[in-house]
Amino acid sequence: MTGEFKNALNTKELLAIMDYDEGLIKICFEDFLAHSLIMLDDIKRSIDAENPSMLNQTAHKFKGSLKYLAAYPAAKVAYQLEIIGKNGSVDGG
């Protein structure tokens, strides 16, 4: 991988988290792909509805999924959204 996606996933940690079980990794990524668009839509809906509590909850859930897959840079962004919602906002301002 090159450029901005080079460090999007920590493969060494992912393997350790999944106990080096490639089948489990495949299942987890399939599950993530099946549900990630729904979670992202939930985040967007919470922002559109100006609902900080919902943003906090949905971003927290998304962050957990990303961390489980060792996608730490994306999890950091989800965490920032979670904190924005926790602080009673949806726009970070």
Within-domain flag for 62: yes
Tokens 């729904």 label which residue? 38
Q: Does residue 52 form part of some domain? A: yes
Domains held by the chain: number: 1
Asked, for residue 1, whether it belongs to a domain, the answer is no
This prediction has a pTM of 0.87
Phi, psi for residue 87 in degrees, rounded to 5: -85, 10
pLDDT of the residue at 3: 54
Domain for residue 91, yes or no?
no
Tens-level pLDDT at each residue, the chain (93 residues): 445 667 899 999 999 999 999 999 999 999 999 999 999 999 999 999 999 999 999 999 999 999 999 999 999 999 999 999 999 999 976
Provide long-range contacts, Cβ within 8 A and 24+ apart, for 46-52: 46/85, 46/90, 47/90, 47/91, 50/90, 51/90, 52/84, 52/85, 52/86, 52/87, 52/88, 52/89, 52/90
Domain that holds residue 55: 9-86
Q: Is 3 inside a domain boundary?
A: no
In a domain, 92, yes or no: no
